[in-house]
Amino acid sequence: MSDWNKIFAQNALVPPHPQRARQLLKESTAFQCVLKWLDGPLSKQGALDVLSEVECHLRVSLFDVTYRHFFGKTWRTMVKPTKQLSRQPPRIVFGEPLYFHTSLNHPNIVAVVEVVAEGKERGGTLQALSCGFGILRLFSSRPDSPTSQSQDKRLKLYHGTPRALLHPLLQDPIEQNKHMTLIENCSLQYMLRPHPALEPAFHLLPENLLVSGLQPIPGLLPAHGDVGDALRKPRLQKTATWHLDDVFFTLYPSLEKFEEELLELLADDHSQEGGGPLDYGALEVLERRLHVGVHNGLGFVQRPQVVVLVPEMDVALTRSASFSRKVSSSSRTSSGNQALVLRSRLRLPEMVSHPAFAIVFQLEYVFRSPSGVDGNAASVTSLSNLASMCMVRWAVWNPDLEASDGRVTLPLQGGPGPNPSHRLIYKVPSDSRSSEEVKQVEAGTVQFRFSLSPEECLVIAAARAQGPRSERRPCRRPPMSPAGMPAPAPQGLAATQDSPVGPGLSLSQLAASPLSPAQRHSAKSSPQPPDGSQPETENFPLGGRISHLEADLSQTPSVLETCVTEHLRELPFTPLHAPIVLGAQTRSAGGQLSRATMALLQSSGFPEILDGSKQPAEAVSPAEPVQFNPQKEESDRLQSNEIVLHFLAFSRVAQDYRGTPWPKTVYFTFQFYRFPPATTPRLQLVPLDRTGKTSSGSLSHILVPISKDGSSEAGSPGLQLRYTVGPGFLKPGEQRWFLRYLAAQTLQIDVWDGDSLLLIGSAGVSMKHLLRQGRPAVQVPHELEVVATEYEQDTVVVSGDLAGFGSVKPIGVHTVVKGRLHLTLANVGHACERKATEASSLPPSRSRVISNDGAGSFPGGSLLTRGAPRRRNVVQAQRLADVDSELAAMLLTPMPGGQGPRGNAREVDAVRRRKLERMRSVRLQESGAEPASRRTAVLAQQSACRQHSRDLQVIDAYRERTKAESIASVLSLAITTQHTLYTTLGTAEFFEFALKNPHNTQHTVSIEIDNPELSLILDSREWRYFKDTTGLHTPLEEDMFHLRGDLAPQLYLRPRETTHVPFKYQSFSMGPPVPMQASTELSAEKGRDTGAPWKSSAMPTKHAKVLFRAGGGKPLAVLCLTVEPQPHVVDQVFRFYHPELTFLKKAIRLPPWHTLPGAPVGRPGEELPVHVRCSDPNVICEAQNVGPGEPRDVFLKVASGPSPEIKDFFVVTYMDRWLATPVQTWQVCLHSLQRVDVSCVAGQMTRLSLVLRGTQTVRKVRAFASHPQELKTDPAGDFLLPPHGVQDLHVGVRPRRAGSRFVHLNLVDVDFHQLVASWLLCLSCRQPLISKAFEITMMVGEGKGANKRITYTNPYPTRRAYHLHSDRPDLLRFREDTFQVGGGETYTIGLWFAPGGRPGQEEILIYINDHEDKNEETFCVKVTYQ
């Protein structure tokens, strides 16, 4: 038996409970546990007295308290003699370290330590007795978790054996159970602490495997010195890269008969299981897959690679004859035995020179039945059409440690024995059915050729130079490409992705499935091969690309589905905001600033960001990983967070053509948390002094504020915006949501041209580094790519003018990096003084079960101020008119004799006269006036008495009328329960209300809800889904509610019964939109704390009320919900420009569902439903259900408003049936513009006129274009637009290349920087006729470029003037842009070609236009860069 087989057989693991395995996995945590010594006498001392040579050891096992399930593998220490217990104090010293790692981070995951004594009976038989056990808690929900402490602890021991934990009477907490009895004066001294040093070796140790530090682990070097603890500071062995070629499988007796027998047995199994008869001919083989991985006896080092095998005959039909002859000659099989062949090379970079390292081959078949499994016809979406998989054979190969290449033939294994995949394997043929010749290979064979990488060959050759000569042929180094990389393998050895895939389940779908957190951590921490290559499983991106398609949504779904199947074609498309797409592969969306850039920024005079102690904030690199600890953030004494956004510089990219116009001023728009959208003041781009230019050259312009007169301010450069987020701003319980927002959200920043008001591009920056984690202040410098998107339309599509019935027209989308934004984000902590009254307030409960036990008493108090919280039993008397607005209005109404408003006016005048008389009387009394004036005072007093009497009558009548209603309302507080929900857009908040019947009679309760966003969960399957998702273990009932059409649902309650009523709150509305500021100027000055004026939340608080009525309309309970909407995560932002007053029809293509973050786990090939919801009810959005394997599209139909209106809404996608948690949330911004269609020729000027209509006042305006090199306006500068006047704006368009594209034209008020008008020019450009073609060759990287000349002959008899233009001014420049030549004469045109940056070919067009800028001739120059 080989070393691999021994280790594999000795380390079989019991998996965790299936319910625990289905929960959300977390990052795996490594532990070191040192069991030091055992104090005290052992129990069962009397039973041990009859044994001789008594010894003691400890056993440790992992146990799940929730499901009463032991898992993993029991580990035991070395045996120690019990003679040490006779000493004083009695103690047995173990001192053996124990290591393991697990992702089951739950308080109910514990380690059970058992004390076992063993000795020999009189007959010599070895007897083992359990002397007690202890429960070692690994995790805790409290901040002072044992995992964060490393001091020694004592473990209490209990009588009995760990098998007692399986008894149902032992409920959690087990330590406090009455059936558990402590062993007096006996304990175990231990130390448990996290062991991060073990993380690099996670890929060598399976989860939940307990190992000793003294145990050798394959893949780890032995420890230094005499300690022998190799896991204390693990050192990885060097890896080697192995290549496997010419892999083919031979199955007994032949491939055809083997698969025929396999299909027959599958059909028989289906009929025996009660599924009905099934013809094996209806089954078909979809794919034959091969799983290949490196195994160290304990587990797979990396996730096995998955490739597709094909029959040898298919290879001969699809590949060249030479490849077919090579496969046929290498198979060495008879003509009747066809083999399964792998057409590609396998690369295994994780091999280690160790006897326990082996390569495991697993052959898997994928089946599908075209009809239902019951033999009847099934629908397209039937679950019976999903593929089923079966592992049929496996093999293991221990490479020779001294071999560098050669050929290997391995026998295949099968049957229900232990195997690395821990699955049932298809049986092997019985001996009675096999002949003598095939008994040795009755299960089949696998043959392949192996070789080491060139670097490993050199190492082995150097090691063998002094040894005996090898008999194997030497390993030859493959030829190198000019770039220094190995050339492709010869003889048609393709890459892995060239292997064929099946019709339903492709290789990319299987290999791109998301990894579990433990696997991601293992892949991240695994050693990289010397050549820097990555394992095959990391070559697939996590997020897919999204394509845009134009679609007509007015047709029926069936017709649309047919048309999509016939006409759709997938287009390559990089998303608009590449840095924001979760998991998308971007070029360098955000990175760390170079030292040269940081030196330039520091020397430019930007103000420092200081903490509360006036010290510079701690600088954090954006490349550093973030360790987010919510408990550490919540326990920070600096509870107030001051978020600072410091805009520093905006630079053009190095690849940008210097002739491209660069904006002079910019401003930024964004929205942080739930503050209103922000628009910064205009900032001027000031170029840096390039005398001290460095090699980086990435920083070119800094941002300087602009004063009111338009000049640059003399103060410090840059712009700081500050947001204060503290207890005064956050609502109770909201801090956790704010921390989650910083940890998960990406801040979207749009960059605009301050003069033209055109969008330059967008950038996204992650905010997770703003988590201070106990530090006083942090600042993170960022260098962000600003990305713009350009759309190209093949055919101009007007609303309703599609090519055909339900046709779809594709749109090409191109992304361009416009520049780099230098931005610093900071978080400064401040201490906040809490009031004494606020110290006792607790955050609202986050429990999923709402109980009405607290609503059972009447607090008393005023009838009119019942909504205010009562802190004491003293109520201060107040005027009724001050506390009741309705009564105050009645006290100002006229007397019955009054008529209408005039009576009301007389009432007000009388009150005013009465007050004046009182004032006069007071003054007369103070001045000692004559007694004759007392008559006036008496009259005034009598008038006041009459008024008071009238008011008292009104008050008495009002109180009598509202007394019953007010008393009933106050008494209802005794049965009212208040609860606060924190919701996000599209996420279903599930909770249960514990409804209790307080009476001794049964009731039929009607449930009335006043908010449409709150609903009862009527389907028990939906209820069960939410329970499983939230981990709620309350009772579940079927058919709980009685439904009566449109009436309120009813619920039956027995006397004194309490039942749980399930509710779901889900909102798709964002409330009233917050208007964006039209002007780019803000009232806030630079550096001002903008958090203070923005205290009002952009998300208003909502309320919902549920009334439970018993028979006769009597209220039984009231549930009042306060809903606090929270900001949601935006995964993608789309910005579309569309003609005004038309319909925008878009189709957004989804990537494969398993690549989306948060998608549910399903089987490979399983098609999950896609559901779509929109925040705007006027937007039509839907997702069509297509066939298996087809791409999914989300269709949008939006009505655009008048120009220049901007419509903003959100689209939420789900992949679960009950729409519980969004998988993707998109923000869509639709800009409505005036559309102008232009048909033109590339390189030729096309002129048109636009009508300008004046506003109410005279304005100084200027026209700006998004492509000023291709579009010119007349007037070109500033001009006056008279009020209510009509004026023409002349536009000249000269496109550089053919095709359809969009150009934006803005008319801006230059004094107030306001947008007056905006147009969308839809260019349909055709290419001119090419008269001549040239070809030149240039070397890549030529510093000075190349000068060439071409001739042009004037075909006219008169002298003419010509203009020269090119479609690539960045690659070609002319010596003279204009020239004149006589009739019939020839002119030499001088050309200068810029050096190329990379090898390839470019076609450059040269346009020769006449004096009217019409194209005369077009030359094409093909440039080859080598």
Q: What is the DSSP letter of 299?
A: S
Nearest CA-CA partner of 34 in 119, 155, 148: 155
Under 8 Å CB-to-CB from 1028, ≥6 apart: which residues? Answer: none
Q: Name the band, by pLDDT with cuts 50, 70 and 90, for residue 111.
A: very high
Could you read off the pLDDT of 706-743 as tens digits, one per residue? 877 667 666 678 888 999 888 888 777 778 878 888 88
Q: Is 1213 exposed, middle or buried (0-12, 13-18, 19+ CB in 10 A)?
A: buried
* pTM recorded for the entire structure: 0.51
Higher pLDDT, 148 or 874: 874
Is the predicted pLDDT of residue 1364 greater than 60, yes or no? yes
Is the predicted pLDDT of residue 427 greater than 70, yes or no? yes
How large is the average pLDDT for residues 1027-1056?
87
How large is the average pLDDT for residues 1168-1179?
87
Higher pLDDT, 317 or 1340: 1340
Q: What is the DSSP letter of 353?
A: S
How large is the average pLDDT for residues 1297-1317?
86
| Average pLDDT over all residues of the chain | 75
Q: What is the DSSP letter of 220?
A: B
327 to 255, 492, 493: CA distances (angstroms): 16, 11, 12
How large is the average pLDDT for residues 1251-1261?
88
Higher pLDDT, 1025 or 587: 1025
Could you read off the pLDDT of 36-61 as tens digits, one per residue? 888 887 766 666 777 778 888 999 99
584 to 511, 587, 766: CA distances (angstroms): 17, 10, 14
Whether 1372 and 1391 have beta carbons less than 8 Å apart is answered as yes
At 1174 the pLDDT is: 92
* 334: helix, strand or coil: coil
Q: Tell me how many degrees the CA angle 55-59-65 measures, rounded to the nearest 5.
A: 150
CA pair distance 102, 105, nearest whole angstrom:
7
**Sequence-ordered alpha helix ranges (H) in 972-1100:** 1020-1030
Whether 289 and 340 have beta carbons less than 8 Å apart is answered as no
Under 8 Å CB-to-CB from 140, ≥6 apart: which residues? Answer: 107, 146, 147
Beta bridge partners of 647: 719, 823
Strand-pair category, 777-793 with 80-81: unpaired
At 883 the pLDDT is: 62
Could you read off the pLDDT of 877-934 as tens digits, one per residue? 666 666 666 666 666 554 444 444 444 455 566 777 777 878 877 777 766 655 555 6
Q: Name the band, by pLDDT with cuts 50, 70 and 90, for residue 1104.
A: very high
* 789: helix, strand or coil: strand
CA pair distance 1062, 993, nearest whole angstrom:
7
Torsion region of 697: left, alpha or beta (phi above 0 gives left; psi -120 to 50 gives alpha) = left
At 459 the pLDDT is: 54
How large is the average pLDDT for residues 288-315?
89
How large is the average pLDDT for residues 1392-1412?
86
CA pair distance 142, 163, nearest whole angstrom:
28
At 304 the pLDDT is: 92
At 728 the pLDDT is: 80
Could you read off the pLDDT of 834-893 as tens digits, one per residue? 544 444 444 555 578 887 765 555 555 555 554 444 444 555 666 666 666 666 666 655
Could you read off the pLDDT of 66-81 as tens digits, one per residue? 888 999 999 999 888 8
CA pair distance 512, 1029, nearest whole angstrom:
25
At 580 the pLDDT is: 29
At 783 the pLDDT is: 87
Residues recorded for the chain: 1426
Could you read off the pLDDT of 1282-1296 as tens digits, one per residue? 888 888 889 999 898
CA pair distance 698, 819, nearest whole angstrom:
10
Beta bridge partners of 679: 669
Is the predicted pLDDT of residue 1036 greater than 90, yes or no? no
At 1370 the pLDDT is: 83
Nearest CA-CA partner of 290 in 329, 241, 247: 247
Is the predicted pLDDT of residue 323 greater than 90, yes or no? no
Range with lowest mean pLDDT among 371-385, 399-413, 633-647: 371-385
* 281: helix, strand or coil: helix
Under 8 Å CB-to-CB from 261, ≥6 apart: which residues? Answer: none
Q: Is 130 exposed, middle or buried (0-12, 13-18, 19+ CB in 10 A)?
A: middle
Could you read off the pLDDT of 586-635 as tens digits, one per residue? 333 556 667 777 777 767 778 888 888 888 888 888 888 887 777 787 77
* Neighbour-count burial for 1250-1283, b at 16+ CB within 10 Å, e otherwise: bebebbeeebebbbbbbbeebbbbeeeeebebee
Higher pLDDT, 95 or 694: 95
At 1166 the pLDDT is: 56
Higher pLDDT, 526 or 861: 861
At 903 the pLDDT is: 44
* Neighbour-count burial for 342-375, b at 16+ CB within 10 Å, e otherwise: bbbbbbbbbbbebebbbbbbbbbbbbbbeebbee
Q: How many CB atoms lie within 10 A of CB 248?
A: 22
With the C-alpha atoms ordered 372, 374, 377, 379, is the resulting torsion angle positive or negative?
A: negative
How large is the average pLDDT for residues 1071-1091?
38
Structure tokens at 1361: 């003037």
Is the predicted pLDDT of residue 1031 greater than 50, yes or no? yes
Q: Name the band, by pLDDT with cuts 50, 70 and 90, for residue 380.
A: very low
State the DSSP string of 547-583.
Answer: -EEEE-TTS-HHHHHHHHHHH--------TTTTTSTT
Under 8 Å CB-to-CB from 1200, ≥6 apart: which residues? Answer: 1138, 1139, 1140, 1141, 1142, 1143, 1144, 1207, 1230, 1232
CA pair distance 1291, 1247, nearest whole angstrom:
6
How large is the average pLDDT for residues 188-197?
91
Is the predicted pLDDT of residue 175 greater than 60, yes or no? yes
Could you read off the pLDDT of 472-522 as tens digits, one per residue? 333 333 334 333 433 333 333 333 333 443 333 333 333 333 343 334 444
Whether 1132 and 1226 have beta carbons less than 8 Å apart is answered as yes
Structure tokens at 809: 């027209």
Range with lowest mean pLDDT among 153-167, 208-222, 1033-1047, 1149-1163: 1149-1163
Structure tokens at 912: 């005013």
Could you read off the pLDDT of 224-253 as tens digits, one per residue? 766 678 888 898 888 889 899 999 899 888
Most confident of 193-207, 709-723, 914-928, 1142-1156: 193-207
390 to 371, 375, 501: CA distances (angstroms): 19, 21, 17
Strand-pair category, 590-591 with 777-793: antiparallel
Could you read off the pLDDT of 1175-1216 as tens digits, one per residue? 998 999 888 766 666 677 888 899 998 887 889 899 999 888
Higher pLDDT, 544 or 1099: 1099
Can you give 308-328 as a three-state secondary structure string?
Answer: EEEEHHHHHHHCCHHHHHHHH
Is the predicted pLDDT of residue 62 greater than 90, yes or no? yes
717 upstream amide cis, omega within 30 of 0? no
At 609 the pLDDT is: 86
CA pair distance 317, 1062, nearest whole angstrom:
61
